Amino acid sequence: MDQREDENKMLHKKVSRKKKKHTCYLKCKRAMDLALSGMAVFFLSPVLLGISIAIKLDSKGPVIFRQKRVGIHKSHFEIYKFRTMYADTPKDMPTHLLKNPEAMVTRTGAFLRKYSLDELPQLFNILRGEMSIVGPRPALWNQYDLVAERDKYGANDVLPGLTGWAQINGRDELEIPVKARLDGEYVKKFGLWMDLRCMLGTVFAVVGHKGVVEGGTGTITSIRRKGQDEPVGGVLAAQQVYAKVRESLPDGSKKVLVTGAGSYIGTAVRQWLSAFGGRYEVTELNMHGGLWKMHDFSKYDTVFHVAGIAHADTGNVSKEQKQLYYEVNRDLALEAAKAARSAGVRQFVYMSSIIIYGESAPCFADARRITAKTKPQPANFYGNSKWQADKKLRELETPGFQVCVLRPPMIYGAGSKGNYPVLAKLAAAAPVFPDVKNERSVLHIDHLCEFVRLVIENEETGVFFPQDAEYADTASLVRMIAAEHGKRVRLVKALAPCVRVAALLPGRIGRLADKAFGSLSYEMALSVYPKGEYRIHSLRESIAVTESGNAATK
């Protein structure tokens, strides 16, 4: 017992010494930052003045470029850089996402970028205590993937730096996981010797302009496999769309309220819209309880309502739970819409569902294709709760209050729930899979987000049926998901009778067989949107984006 207490005391002393050493170096590091950056500003003031004059003579616009970046503990601050691009270049878009980045860079800017002289104004960020001379380079505020990767290594809990370990070991050439791992290595070896190595390495990196790739990663890269670039999804895909449409977007901003804070769809839409150069200001509102009724709806142009209860096993639900579906999916939606209309909101966008048309056709039956003439026929309380809201909301429409209803099919994407993760598990575990042909309409989350943006931008009213440009079948989806992980799933027609037998069984097994291999699809003509193309990935690309995103969050 005494021996264990002695060991604990020794361990406690060791940890305390380490903390004191760390705290002491933080103070010394701050003193060095102040001294070195102060001297640099003094001695380099003629250089700073000369660069400022050159920028002014070269192109119109401010000398200093300001941009929101991620600081210590994921706080935000405004970073200073010499402007190297023309003034109308998108502010929050990494260079590699621009259509023609070389054309955006000024003549002076090209020289400044080559030798990293555009970073010199960050000496003032260091004096303000927002940065250090050495540390992880500050991420853009919307580089959620890089920030998430750095969280794994504690690299968001130190001051960002003018230069850093990742900077001298690849810079623009590094992919996000590698960059974050190097930032983590810096944190792990945090101390004077590591800082000196970084500063010395910076001299060689700048002189040789190592790792600078114009139009390169800009701290975000595509994931590469077998020599080819995978499609980019999420916020990066939104930034690519913005680069194409920014000239056609009107000035000013649209204010959007997402009713359903923290939801998968609501969060995805908020992040997507945030990439459009300030065109959309998005707020999420928690709809639990009654506090949301105190919220001021009058400042919004559009309310996007996503709060609801998702599909459950309808074969095993109590009467009270069924009633809850109506209270949330129907009554709450109507309350929110009435509050929006009373406050003068111009548009209300509601997430309905393909489920209002009933369940899919049984497996091995003829494909069930929904056309413009198909009447909704909910098969259960879940579908009925959505259908009742769908109808009643459109009755609220007035000349000054547009109601836009979306009836999407199965939505999938990185982090999605529902049927897709089940298929992903099957793809990971099964060497063989039944070769049963069926037809499903599906909708990737990026496509939904862009469709929502378009109906908000155009202030649409009416009913819409967004879906991917290709139908999916269960067997092909499983095979494509497996292929993204380097696996091969063999589709076997001889297993089809097993599925047929399972479908004939009563109860849950029969329902699952029909759910997995049944058919339910929209006629493609219903999903064409003439005012913009929202389907930016092929089906195979959508699967690649989804699985890349899922792998990054594991």
Written as one string, the DSSP assignment of 7-38 is HHHHHHHHHHHHHHHHHHHHHHHHHHHHHHHH
Lowest mean pLDDT among 309-323, 327-341, 387-401: 309-323
In the DSSP assignment, the letter for residue 328 is I
pLDDT digits (tens, 9 = 90+) for 22-41: 788 889 999 999 999 999 99
CB 152 within 8 A of CB 180: yes
pLDDT bin (cut points 50, 70, 90) of residue 506 is confident
CB 164 within 8 A of CB 137: yes
In the predicted structure, residue 196 carries a pLDDT above the cut 80: yes
User: Which of 37, 135, 131 lies closest to 75, judged by CA?
Assistant: 131
Which ranges in 343-418 belong to alpha helices (H)? 381-395
Return the pLDDT at 430: 83
pLDDT digits (tens, 9 = 90+) for 438-494: 899 999 999 999 999 999 999 999 999 999 999 999 999 999 999 888 888 899 889
CB 529 within 8 A of CB 454: yes
Query: Phi then psi for 222, rounded to 5 degrees?
Result: -75, 150
Return the pLDDT at 466: 97
- How close are the terminal C-alpha atoms of the chain, in Å? 41
Task: Copy the structure tokens of residue 523.
Answer: 């006629």
CB 423 within 8 A of CB 481: yes
Would you tell me how many other CB atoms lie within 10 Å of the CB of residue 151?
A: 14
For helices 539-552 and 144-151, give the axis angle rounded to 10 degrees. Answer: 30
User: What does the alpha-carbon distance between residue 343 and residue 156 come to, in Å, rounded to a whole number?
Assistant: 41
CB 97 within 8 A of CB 243: yes
In the predicted structure, residue 224 carries a pLDDT above the cut 60: no
CB 383 within 8 A of CB 358: yes
In the predicted structure, residue 345 carries a pLDDT above the cut 70: yes
pLDDT bin (cut points 50, 70, 90) of residue 216 is very low
pLDDT bin (cut points 50, 70, 90) of residue 222 is very low
Return the pLDDT at 10: 59
Which ranges in 274-379 belong to alpha helices (H)? 319-325, 333-342
Lowest mean pLDDT among 83-92, 458-467, 514-523: 83-92
Task: Copy the structure tokens of residue 135.
Answer: 């540390």
Check the CA dihedral 247-248-253-255 and report its sign.
negative
The per-residue b/e assignment along 299-331, b for 16 or more CB within 10 angstroms, e otherwise, is ebbbbbbbbbbebeebeeeeeeebeebbebbbe
CB 516 within 8 A of CB 474: yes
pTM over 0.75: no
Residues forming a β-bridge with 140? 69
Q: What is the CA radius of gyration of the chain?
A: 27
Q: Reduce the DSSP state of residue 41 to 3 states and report it.
A: helix
Q: Reduce the DSSP state of residue 530 to 3 states and report it.
A: coil
Average pLDDT score over residue span 272-284: 91
Return the pLDDT at 21: 74
Q: Average pLDDT over the chain, rounded to whole?
A: 85
pLDDT: which is higher, 2 or 145: 145
pLDDT bin (cut points 50, 70, 90) of residue 94 is low
Q: Reduce the DSSP state of residue 44 to 3 states and report it.
A: helix
Which ranges in 458-507 belong to alpha helices (H)? 474-484, 496-504
pLDDT: which is higher, 475 or 1: 475
User: Which of 277, 281, 282, 337 lies closest to 307, judged by CA?
Assistant: 337
Which ranges in 189-263 belong to alpha helices (H)? 192-207, 234-245
In the predicted structure, residue 263 carries a pLDDT above the cut 80: yes
Query: Phi then psi for 405, rounded to 5 degrees?
Result: -110, 130
Average pLDDT score over residue span 412-436: 86
